[in-house]
Amino acid sequence: QVQLVESGGGLVQAGGSLSLCCAASGGTFSTYAMGWFRQAPGKEREFVAGVSRSGGSTFYADSVKGRFTISRDNAKNTVYLQMNSLKPEDTAVYYCAARTTAGYISDYSTYAYWGQGTQVTVSS
């Protein structure tokens, strides 16, 4: 069983930056691909970014490409999401997740373990 705890959310003005962290425990972190998802009020949960087990491959939703960067440190059991040039439409609860089954990395059903989420609010 893997436990995931996100941190780093908050309130920021449009154009600003935030850095999210997700600390993992209870499993072998390096065996899981990791992803970040977000859910805004009244909307479905959507894929934001994903990173392979080694960190060598990264994937992004078109809406965040060029602005967000996902990375991981397997020695620290941590995955990060650096968010730059934030927009009001980035406002959501952000979740990190550990992927346990094959399929598209953007498919949330391939992730078995989820954190509790952290709120990101971008003001205009």
Contact status, residue 37 vs residue 97, Cβ threshold 8 Å: yes
Strand locations in 52-90, DSSP E?
58-60, 68-73, 78-83
Whether pLDDT at 122 is above 90: yes
46-86 per-position pLDDT tens digit:
999 999 999 999 999 999 999 999 999 999 999 999 999 99
- Dist. CA 64–CA 90, nearest whole Å: 9
pLDDT of residue 10: 97
Q: Would you say 28 and 89 are in contact if contact means Cβ atoms under 8 Å apart?
A: no
pLDDT averaged over every residue in the chain: 96
Instruction: Give mean pLDDT, residues 35-50.
Output: 97
Q: CB burial class (10 A; 0-12, 13-18, 19+) of residue 28?
A: exposed
